[in-house]
Structure 1
């Protein structure tokens, strides 16, 4: 189902883990801050709403979405961080820059997650225009930040389930 048909802030919450002692890093791109700040707010409020302690949520800003990979890598290397959430937006525009940036960031986030054996979540919007970005950052289609935070919560729970048996 495309996000045009789905509210990004509606998800299953059955059996969520206790995250009161888990530490999350949110890496936020400053480029298109009118959108990325809303993604951050959604992710932060979702983590708090489902039991994360405010003091266990750390934020790091990077200049743009391309830099999310290195920022996420630095946080993922820390043993006290349980999950990293990368938040950004790359709008289609008139050139193919989005193709290169989106591919590089998606591949980088995947590699960081595997290399560090912890959830590193791709919370990057890839819309065709600013209105689509706004619609997915707290607008009519919910908030991708909410979805990214819920994904982090579920992945932390799955890791604990697998490795604590």
Structure 2
């Protein structure tokens, strides 16, 4: 497991490009809000610490993780941000629902990455237990929201360098 070897909140600030002109959309699932709100807080804090103005962070919520794809598409079309971050949490249960939701949102976000000229960042926790999710939402393994924010900044810089 990758997080056993690296904290999700760890990054070298010197390696993060200037983000002062970025507009970032974040779509956050309401399901498992005790986890997703911590992911959202981590993402917003990391974006602001790295230069994104608070008024350039556009946040919307959708009911669940499966709805993140549609929400991300709508945010991209409506606000034309430089990057879109999706934040969700799916915890394995006793039915195959976990597999369908995880596969659907993974394929959906991958498709959005090929349709738009901006990065869509996958900040979805897919864990076996709620404790594993909490550990990755500001717990012992850091915060996946921070990782998603830094990835958004770096991918926007990647796109800019190609132009």
Q: Tell me which interval the TM-score lies in, with the shorter structure as reference length.
A: over 0.9
Tell me what 1:33 maps to.
Answer: 33
Cα separation, 2, equivalents of 1:127 and 1:94: 13
Q: Which runs of structure 1 show a deviation greater than 3 angstroms over 4 or more consecutive aligned residues?
A: 12-15
- Paired residues of 2:38 and 2:137 also in contact (CA < 8 A): yes
Alpha-carbon distance in structure 1 between the residues aligned to 2:95 and 2:68: 21
| Aligned residue pair count | 163
Q: How does 1:113-128 map to 2 (within 5 A)?
A: 113-128=113-128
Q: Which residue of 2 aligns with 1:148?
A: 148
Find the residue that maps to 2:84 and give its secondary structure. Answer: strand
C-alpha contact (below 8 Å) 2:16/2:150 kept by paired residues = no
Aligned residue in 2 for 1:91: 91
Q: Distance in 2 between matches of 1:140 and 1:10?
A: 12
For 2:21 and 2:29, locate their aligned partners in 1 and report how far apart those are by CA, in whole Å: 26
TM-score by length of 1: 0.94
CA displacement 1:80-133 (0-9 Å, x = unmatched): 310000000000011111111111101100111110111100000001000000
| TM alignment of 1:40-51, pairs within 5 A | 40-51=40-51
Is there any run of 5+ residues in structure 1 with no aligned partner, and where? none
Q: Residues of 2 paired with 1:21 and 1:51: CA distance?
A: 8
